Structure 1
Amino acid sequence: MDVPTNLFLIGAPKCGTTSLVSWMAQHPEIYSPKPKEPHFFYSPTRQRFSEIEYLRLYRGAPSKAKYVCDASTSYLFGGAYKEILREVPSARFVVCIRDPVEMLSSMYNEQKKSGFELADDLRSAWQASDARWAGEHRLLNNVEVVDPRFFSLKHTCALGWQLDDLLNYAGKDRVYIVLLDDMRNDPQGVFRSLCRWLDISSEQEINYQKKNSATRNRSETIAKILRTARRIKRAVGFERSMGILRWIARLNEEDTTHPQLEEGLFDEAKSYFKSDLQIRNQVLRDLGTQRAHANVENYNT
């Protein structure tokens, strides 16, 4: 297969990737289609593009685009960069990261909204982590989920070991890391720095509007019908999009706030992620181009 992509925003989920890819899509030298996450090289669920679907998604890439972007945020966890580099030796990888304890509630909320998570509360999902990591579909939608390990909050939110594996395999020159705190505080500076790393113009006018704020489904029944409709649409190869499903999905959304970690779970998570955060911060120091915002001392038990 002649892979059409050469730039990969591979994670992490709920770390600002939707905002970043929306900025990238506005740059004339980067092509990023919708949907942004085809999950072709790895998917923890059945929502995975076939080879035909993947090629079809990118066939509209203009010849002037220096980069064609796949923004599937499951790739970091799934180690998809290994297969990607075999197929695209010149591939470059961008990774967004955030504090792991902050990431917990965002991940749970997203998985619950998507219909994959069946746990009624964040504590129950956290406690199911070890079983899921061992391959059990505990409190998961086993019709949709094919890799329960991805839904182990203890492991998916532990970004240090994932970054370490990525750099050891791909090398420092192929990886650019963006901290969510930096995106919040200086979006223009973050994006211009990324453009310089990609060796493209950093003077483009970009709308730095925040994307993908926390929402939930008004009706789980409607959400389930929409997921089924999307699968059928892709299965029959229906390409034309009139935006009806997206319109209904938006009507079915309402703003929400991420569930707060109870004090006991907050302390447990801080203790659990302390060693991984040390790995993450060492990775950032080794890169020499990023700084670690999180203070490891704050993760003392």
Structure 2
Amino acid sequence: MIPDFLVIGAQRSGTTSLFQVMRRHPEIFMPDVKEVNFFFHDNHYRRGVDYYRSVFAEAPARAQAVGEASPGYICKPGVARRIHEMLPTVKLIAVLRNPVDRAYSQYWDNRRFLAEPLSFEQAMEVALTPEYRHGERGYFSRGVYIEQLESYLEWFEREQLLVLVFEDLKQDPEATFERCFEFLGVDPGFRCPEMTRASNSAMTWDNPLHAFFLEHNRYQRYVPKHWIKQVCRGPLVKRRYSPMSAEARERLLAFYGPYNRRLEEFLGRKLPAWER
């Protein structure tokens, strides 16, 4: 058994919610672990097709759709070709979020795991580029969606690609999931509580050491990696992060504007929520 659909991204755009709901659908099988990352990580890919098949070994014969969700697939160069070589008829699902908000969400995700010593403005100075570079900060390059989608269409037909919008998922989750189920050829009338429940929301560990390094992130570079697991522990609590500065938002809106307009033309719709 190998997948007939992949959720390819984007990171911090609702893929966890999509994964959790799709796993509840009785006609869909997805492995327990999100982010299999077979096509993303070279060491996984070198293990070959038999290893990849083993990930889906528990898929029941009654499953009408089998897939996985790895949001890094959308942005890394070469992944589309790898997927096509192994799964030329696969269906692809992308969930896209306002790239300004997506970048800020990923930035704070790294902050909470004590992996970002720079301020957001400093990160913009060193990483504001449309080119994704594996192993470097991808806060901003991951939001240049149109170029990522166009790289997939070099290998796949347009009919194989479904593009969902994160803001639609929040505003009308049932209709958005119905589109997804219809695309996969499973019962579109399926409903579950997870459809209206936020997933992967911003949570931090409620301990004073973590709080110190989170607030004084310039010191994060001095935290030994083997300490991280000790610091990132304790009861989980929701945390509201400080808003992005108006200057940073304006700069990012200008940066993404040309790419977003091309995306709107590609999708045949306006994305007004992405203009602010």
Unpaired segments ≥5 residues, structure 2: 214-222
Q: Give the aligned residue type for 1:187.
A: P
Distance in 2 (alpha carbons) for counterparts of 1:227 and 1:82: 36
Partners of 2:39 and 2:245 in 1: CA distance: 36
- Per mean C-alpha deviation after superposition, the further-off stretch among 15-24 and 49-58 is 49-58
**1:185 correspondence with 2:171:** yes
Equivalence map 1:159-238=2 (5 Å)? 159-207=145-193, 208=195, 209-218=197-206
| Pairing of 1:1-301 with structure 2 (within 5 A) | 4-43=2-41, 51=48, 54-79=52-77, 80-115=79-114, 117-129=115-127, 147-149=134-136, 151-207=137-193, 208=195, 209-218=197-206, 251-285=234-268, 291-294=269-272, 298=275
Amino acid at match of 2:139: L
Indicate conservation of the 8 Å contact 2:10/2:72, yes or no: yes
Task: Give CA-to-partner distance per residue, 1:139-197, whole Å, 9 cap, x none.
Answer: xxxxxxxx224x23221122222122223431210000111111111111111121112
| Residue 266 of structure 1: how far off its partner (Å) | 1.1
Distance 1:32 1:249 in 2: 29
- 3-state SS in 2 of match to 1:169: coil
Aligned residue pairs: how many? 259
In 2, Cα distance between the equivalents of 1:174 and 1:292? 22
TM-score, normalisation: structure 1:
0.75
Q: Secondary structure at the match of 1:106?
A: helix
Q: What SS class does the counterpart of residue 193 from structure 1 fall into?
A: helix
Q: Deviations over 1:120-145 (max 9, x none)?
A: 3211222220589596xxxxxxxxxx
Tell me: CA distance 1:49–1:180, structure 2 relative to 1, closer, same or farther (3 Å): farther
Take 2:44 and 2:105, find their aligned partners in 1: how far apart are those partners? 20
The CA distance in 2 between the partners of 1:281 and 1:66, in whole Å, is 32
Distance 1:123 1:114 in 2: 19
Residues 40, 54 of structure 1: 8 Å contact kept: yes
1:292–1:63 distance in 2 versus 1, CA, 3 Å: farther
Q: Larger deviation: 275-284 or 216-225?
A: 216-225
What is the rounded CA distance, in whole Å, between the counterparts of 2:117 and 2:226 in structure 1? 20
- Aligned residue for 2:153, secondary structure, equals helix
Partner of 1:95, secondary structure, is strand
Distance of aligned partners of 1:76 and 1:113 in 2 relative to their CA distance in 1, 3 Å threshold: same
TM-score, with length taken from structure 2: 0.81
| 1:53 to partner: Cα distance | 5.9
Quickly say closer, same or farther: Cα 1:281–1:134, change in 2 above 3 A.
closer
Change (3 A) 1:257 1:53: farther
Paired position in structure 2 for 1:242? none
SS in 1 for 2:110: helix
Map Cα deviations across residues 190-230 of structure 1 (whole Å, 9 max, x no partner). 1112111222111223221221111234465999659889x
Change (3 A) 1:250 1:202: farther
Where do 5+ consecutive residues of structure 1 fail to align?
Answer: 136-146, 230-247, 286-290
Q: Does the aligned pair in 2 maintain the 1:28–1:64 contact within 8 Å?
A: no
